[in-house]
Amino acid sequence: MQQLDMPFAAASGAPRRNWIAVASAEHALRGCAEPARGFMQVCHGKCAPLKRLRGGDRVVYYAPTRTMGGKDKVQAFVSAGLVQEGEPYRFDMGGGFVPYRRDVAYVPVQPAPIVPLLDQLDFVEDRQRWGYKFRFGLFEVGDADMRRIVQAMQAPLELLHFS
Protein backbone atom coordinates (compact mmCIF):
# COMPACT_ATOMS: atom_id res chain seq x y z
CA MET A 1 0.00 0.00 0.00
CA GLN A 2 1.19 3.52 -0.75
CA GLN A 3 1.68 6.13 1.92
CA LEU A 4 -1.26 8.52 1.95
CA ASP A 5 -0.25 12.08 2.61
CA MET A 6 -3.15 14.13 1.25
CA PRO A 7 -4.79 17.13 2.92
CA PHE A 8 -8.52 17.15 3.66
CA ALA A 9 -9.40 18.70 0.31
CA ALA A 10 -8.08 17.24 -2.89
CA ALA A 11 -4.54 18.37 -3.68
CA SER A 12 -5.92 20.77 -6.32
CA GLY A 13 -7.80 22.64 -3.57
CA ALA A 14 -11.13 21.54 -5.02
CA PRO A 15 -13.53 19.61 -2.81
CA ARG A 16 -12.81 15.90 -2.58
CA ARG A 17 -15.23 13.83 -4.65
CA ASN A 18 -16.37 10.23 -4.19
CA TRP A 19 -16.62 7.63 -6.92
CA ILE A 20 -17.87 4.10 -7.34
CA ALA A 21 -16.13 2.14 -10.07
CA VAL A 22 -17.47 -1.18 -11.34
CA ALA A 23 -15.45 -4.23 -12.33
CA SER A 24 -15.34 -7.93 -11.63
CA ALA A 25 -13.68 -8.75 -8.30
CA GLU A 26 -10.81 -10.37 -10.16
CA HIS A 27 -10.13 -7.18 -12.14
CA ALA A 28 -10.72 -4.76 -9.25
CA LEU A 29 -8.36 -6.65 -6.96
CA ARG A 30 -5.68 -6.80 -9.64
CA GLY A 31 -5.41 -3.01 -9.30
CA CYS A 32 -4.52 -3.14 -5.63
CA ALA A 33 -2.30 -6.22 -5.82
CA GLU A 34 0.82 -4.28 -6.79
CA PRO A 35 2.19 -2.98 -3.47
CA ALA A 36 4.30 -0.21 -5.00
CA ARG A 37 1.74 1.17 -7.42
CA GLY A 38 -1.99 0.62 -7.25
CA PHE A 39 -4.12 1.51 -10.25
CA MET A 40 -7.66 1.62 -11.55
CA GLN A 41 -9.21 1.05 -14.96
CA VAL A 42 -12.86 1.58 -15.85
CA CYS A 43 -15.22 1.06 -18.77
CA HIS A 44 -12.98 -1.42 -20.59
CA GLY A 45 -9.95 0.87 -20.44
CA LYS A 46 -11.51 4.11 -21.69
CA CYS A 47 -9.75 7.39 -20.92
CA ALA A 48 -12.68 9.83 -20.71
CA PRO A 49 -14.23 8.50 -17.47
CA LEU A 50 -10.83 8.59 -15.72
CA LYS A 51 -10.40 12.26 -16.64
CA ARG A 52 -13.37 13.10 -14.38
CA LEU A 53 -11.35 12.10 -11.30
CA ARG A 54 -8.83 14.33 -9.51
CA GLY A 55 -5.99 13.59 -7.18
CA GLY A 56 -7.35 13.14 -3.65
CA ASP A 57 -10.76 11.85 -4.73
CA ARG A 58 -12.00 8.70 -2.99
CA VAL A 59 -12.86 5.61 -5.01
CA VAL A 60 -14.40 2.25 -4.12
CA TYR A 61 -14.82 -0.68 -6.46
CA TYR A 62 -18.09 -2.57 -6.63
CA ALA A 63 -17.84 -6.10 -8.02
CA PRO A 64 -21.05 -7.60 -9.38
CA THR A 65 -19.28 -10.90 -10.18
CA ARG A 66 -16.03 -12.69 -9.44
CA THR A 67 -14.96 -12.84 -13.11
CA MET A 68 -15.71 -10.57 -16.06
CA GLY A 69 -18.90 -11.71 -17.75
CA GLY A 70 -19.30 -14.51 -15.23
CA LYS A 71 -22.43 -15.67 -13.45
CA ASP A 72 -20.52 -16.03 -10.17
CA LYS A 73 -22.19 -13.25 -8.15
CA VAL A 74 -20.21 -11.23 -5.62
CA GLN A 75 -22.36 -8.07 -5.31
CA ALA A 76 -19.94 -6.43 -2.90
CA PHE A 77 -17.62 -3.48 -2.53
CA VAL A 78 -14.11 -4.96 -2.70
CA SER A 79 -11.48 -2.18 -2.65
CA ALA A 80 -11.11 1.47 -1.63
CA GLY A 81 -8.48 4.14 -2.00
CA LEU A 82 -7.47 7.66 -2.93
CA VAL A 83 -6.86 8.70 -6.51
CA GLN A 84 -3.32 10.00 -6.92
CA GLU A 85 -2.21 13.14 -8.76
CA GLY A 86 -1.53 12.80 -12.46
CA GLU A 87 -3.35 12.17 -15.69
CA PRO A 88 -4.67 8.87 -17.06
CA TYR A 89 -1.93 6.94 -18.82
CA ARG A 90 -1.83 3.97 -21.18
CA PHE A 91 -0.54 0.58 -20.08
CA ASP A 92 0.19 -2.35 -22.38
CA MET A 93 -1.40 -5.44 -20.87
CA GLY A 94 -0.42 -7.61 -23.83
CA GLY A 95 -2.43 -9.15 -26.60
CA GLY A 96 -3.08 -5.74 -28.12
CA PHE A 97 -5.02 -4.45 -25.07
CA VAL A 98 -3.64 -1.03 -24.03
CA PRO A 99 -6.14 0.49 -21.56
CA TYR A 100 -5.95 3.78 -19.70
CA ARG A 101 -5.24 3.76 -15.97
CA ARG A 102 -5.08 6.12 -12.99
CA ASP A 103 -2.84 5.59 -9.98
CA VAL A 104 -4.65 4.87 -6.71
CA ALA A 105 -3.32 4.46 -3.15
CA TYR A 106 -5.46 1.64 -1.77
CA VAL A 107 -6.19 1.06 1.90
CA PRO A 108 -6.83 -2.26 3.65
CA VAL A 109 -10.51 -3.26 3.57
CA GLN A 110 -12.83 -6.22 3.94
CA PRO A 111 -15.37 -6.91 1.19
CA ALA A 112 -18.81 -5.52 2.06
CA PRO A 113 -21.95 -6.96 0.45
CA ILE A 114 -24.25 -4.30 -0.97
CA VAL A 115 -27.62 -5.88 -0.11
CA PRO A 116 -27.50 -4.96 3.62
CA LEU A 117 -26.65 -1.36 2.64
CA LEU A 118 -29.37 -0.80 0.02
CA ASP A 119 -31.83 0.97 2.34
CA GLN A 120 -29.09 3.27 3.67
CA LEU A 121 -27.53 4.48 0.40
CA ASP A 122 -28.84 7.76 -1.03
CA PHE A 123 -27.82 6.89 -4.60
CA VAL A 124 -30.23 3.91 -4.56
CA GLU A 125 -33.36 5.67 -5.78
CA ASP A 126 -35.46 2.54 -6.36
CA ARG A 127 -34.67 -0.59 -4.35
CA GLN A 128 -36.26 -2.75 -7.07
CA ARG A 129 -33.75 -1.41 -9.62
CA TRP A 130 -30.76 -0.79 -7.36
CA GLY A 131 -28.26 -2.14 -9.90
CA TYR A 132 -29.12 0.38 -12.60
CA LYS A 133 -26.42 2.98 -11.78
CA PHE A 134 -23.69 0.34 -11.82
CA ARG A 135 -24.21 -0.07 -15.58
CA PHE A 136 -22.37 3.24 -16.08
CA GLY A 137 -19.08 1.74 -14.88
CA LEU A 138 -18.15 4.85 -12.87
CA PHE A 139 -20.41 7.27 -11.03
CA GLU A 140 -20.17 9.89 -8.32
CA VAL A 141 -21.76 9.57 -4.87
CA GLY A 142 -22.04 11.87 -1.87
CA ASP A 143 -19.88 11.91 1.25
CA ALA A 144 -22.56 10.19 3.36
CA ASP A 145 -22.81 7.23 0.97
CA MET A 146 -19.03 6.91 0.71
CA ARG A 147 -18.70 6.95 4.50
CA ARG A 148 -21.38 4.24 4.87
CA ILE A 149 -19.66 2.06 2.28
CA VAL A 150 -16.12 2.36 3.65
CA GLN A 151 -17.35 1.84 7.21
CA ALA A 152 -19.04 -1.38 6.06
CA MET A 153 -15.68 -2.33 4.48
CA GLN A 154 -13.96 -1.67 7.83
CA ALA A 155 -11.62 0.77 6.10
CA PRO A 156 -9.44 3.05 8.23
CA LEU A 157 -11.42 6.30 7.85
CA GLU A 158 -8.40 8.49 8.60
CA LEU A 159 -6.54 7.06 5.60
CA LEU A 160 -9.45 8.09 3.38
CA HIS A 161 -9.49 11.55 5.02
CA PHE A 162 -12.81 11.35 6.80
CA SER A 163 -12.85 13.45 9.93
pLDDT band for position 36 (cuts 50, 70, 90):
low
| Strand pairing class (58-65; 89-90) | unpaired
Q: Decide if pLDDT at 75 tops 70.
A: yes
Model confidence at 60, pLDDT cuts 50, 70, 90, reads very high
The model's pLDDT over 124-135, given as tens digits with 9 standing for 90+, comes to 998 889 988 998
CATH topology of domain 18-160: ph1033 like fold (3.10.590)
Can you give the pTM of this predicted structure? 0.88
Domain ranges of the chain: 18-160
Nearby residues of 115 by Cβ (< 8 Å), 6 or more positions away = 75
pLDDT digits (tens, 9 = 90+) for 107-146: 999 999 999 999 999 999 988 899 889 988 999 999 999 9
